[in-house]
Amino acid sequence: MKELIEIQKNLRAPKAHRNEFGGFNYRSAEDILEAVKPLLAEHGCVLTLTDEIVLIGDRYYVRATARISNSEKEIITVSAYAREEAQKKGMDAAQITGAASSYARKYALNGLFCIDDTRDPDGQVPEKTKEDILKQIEDCKTVADLHELWNRMDDKTRQEYKEIVKQRKNQLL
Let me know how many helices (H) and strands (E) the chain has, helices first.
6, 5
**37: in domain:** yes
Average pLDDT over residues 92-119: 86
Do 99 and 143 fall into the same domain? no
**What is the reported pLDDT for 73?**
96
The domain boundary residue, chosen from 113, 141, 162: 113
**Residue 167 φ then ψ, to 5°:** -65, -45
Average pLDDT along the chain: 87
**What is the reported pLDDT for 118?**
57
Do 108 and 134 fall into the same domain? no
Do 142 and 101 fall into the same domain? no
102, 108 Cβ separation under 8 angstroms = no
Q: pLDDT for 109-134, tens place per residue? A: 999 999 986 554 444 445 567 888 88
Q: pLDDT for 39-83, tens place per residue? A: 999 999 999 999 999 988 888 899 999 999 999 999 999 999 998
How far out from the chain centre does Cα 126 lie?
15
State whether residue 26 is helix, strand or coil: strand
State how many domains the chain has: 2
**76: in domain:** yes
**Residue 77 belongs to what domain range?**
2-113
Q: Rounded CA gap, 171 and 23, in Å?
A: 26
**What is the reported pLDDT for 119?**
52
**What is the reported pLDDT for 65?**
97
% of the chain with per-residue pLDDT over 90: 46
**What is the reported pLDDT for 67?**
98
Q: pLDDT for 73-93, tens place per residue? A: 999 999 999 987 776 667 787
Q: Rounded CA gap, 162 and 155, in Å?
A: 10
Confidence of residue 21 (pLDDT cuts 50, 70, 90): confident
**What is the reported pLDDT for 25?**
83
